[in-house]
Amino acid sequence: MKSIDGLTTEEERAAAIFRALGNPARIRIVTELARRNACVTGDLVDVLPLAQSTVSQHLKVLREAGIVRGATDGESACYCLEPDVVRWLATFCTDICCPPAADALSAVCCD
Amino acid sequence: MKSIDGLTTEEERAAAIFRALGNPARIRIVTELARRNACVTGDLVDVLPLAQSTVSQHLKVLREAGIVRGATDGESACYCLEPDVVRWLATFCTDICCPPAADALSAVCCD
DNA sequence: AGCGCCCATCGAAATTTTACGATGTGCGCA
DNA sequence: TGCGCACATCGTAAAATTTCGATGGGCGCT
C-alpha cells in the first residue's frame, strides 16, 4: 500500500483503526468485549471458530491499533476495550456525516 | 478469510464498512467528500498521489460498501457520501463504547 | 524438578488487497 | 464520422492479510 503524505494525523489514525476493525473475527471480539466488559483469551477462542493462534493474532492487531488493552496477569490474559479510542472513533464518524451545512448543500450534484 | 457464522447482520455490515474505510486513500476520499460535499472523479485523482485507475478502483470499493454514491451524468462521474450509512456507523461505534453500566464495571479485570 | 495449562510468537501456505498500464465505453464537439 | 475527454474495467505483479500447526515461555500444582 502506497503512503499518502497529504494525510492528517487524524486521518492516519482513523485508517489504522478502521483497518483493524475491518475483519469479522475482530468485530466479533470487540462486540464480545463490549458485551462482557472483559474477556480472557480462552473465552474468545471458545466464541470464535478459529484456532487459538489465530485469535491471539487478531488480539495482537487490535492491541497494536490501540482498540483493546491486554493484561497478562500470570496464567491468563485479560482483555478489555479502550473506551477512549472507540469514543474517538465515534466522534470521527459523526464529524464526517454531519459537516456544517451538509444538509443545506446536499443534492446539488447527486440526485 | 474464514467466515464467522455466529455473526449478526449488524456485525457483518460493520466489518464490511470498516474494511472499506481501512485504507488511507479511501479515508482521504471520504474526508474530501465530506469537506466538499460532492466531487467529480477527476478532483479526487488530483488530490491523491495515485493513478486514475487506482482511484477509480477505490471508489468502486466505497460504492460497493454503500459509503458513497456515484452518479455518472454523461461526461463526468460525481460522487457524494451516503449520509445514512456514515450515521449508522457512528451509532454503531457509540453503542460499542457506551454499553449500559460500562463505567460501573470497568477496572474489574483491567487495571 | 516435572507436568499441564494458557497464551504468545514463529514459519509457511493460501488468499486478498493494492497498484499500475493498457484497454474499453459513453458522451460531446468539430 | 472521427477525435478527445472523463471514467470504468481488465490483466497482472507485488505486497499484505489470514489461517494454521508447531514451538516457546510463564505460572501453578503435585
Number of Cβ atoms within 10 Å of the Cβ of B24: 22
User: Which residue in B has a C-alpha nearest to residue A49's C-alpha?
Assistant: B4
Q: Which residues of B touch A62 (CB under 8 A)?
A: none
User: Which residue in B has a C-alpha nearest to residue A94's C-alpha?
Assistant: B90
CA distances to A33, B8, B74, B109 from A105, rounded to whole Å, are 39, 35, 22, 48
What's the pLDDT score for residue A99? 54
Report d(CA A35, CA A24) in Å as an integer.
Answer: 16
Dump pLDDT digits (tens) for B48-76. 999 999 999 999 999 999 999 998 877 78
What's the pLDDT score for residue A98? 65
Dump pLDDT digits (tens) for A90-103. 889 888 876 544 44
Q: Which member of B23, B28, B105 has the closest CB to residue A19?
A: B23
Q: Which member of B19, B25, B102 has the closest CB to residue A22?
A: B19
The phi and psi torsions of B93 (rounded to 5 degrees) equal: -65, -40
Q: CB–CB of A14/B23 below 8 Å?
A: no
pLDDT band at B5 (very low <50, low <70, confident <90, very high): confident
Non-local (6+) Cβ contacts of B41 within 8 A are B52, B55, B56, B59, B76, B77, B79
Question: What is the DSSP code (8-state) at residue A35?
Answer: H
Which residue's CA shows the smallest distance to C1' of D19?
A54
* Residue range B19-24: mean pLDDT, rounded: 97
Q: CB–CB of A87/A99 below 8 Å?
A: no
Strand D-proximal protein residues, Cβ less than 7 Å? A 1, 19, 22-23, 25, 49-54, 57-58, 61, 74-75; B 1-2, 40-42, 45, 52-53, 56-57, 59-60, 70, 72, 75-77
SS3 B71: strand
| A and B: number of Cβ contacts within 8 A | 175
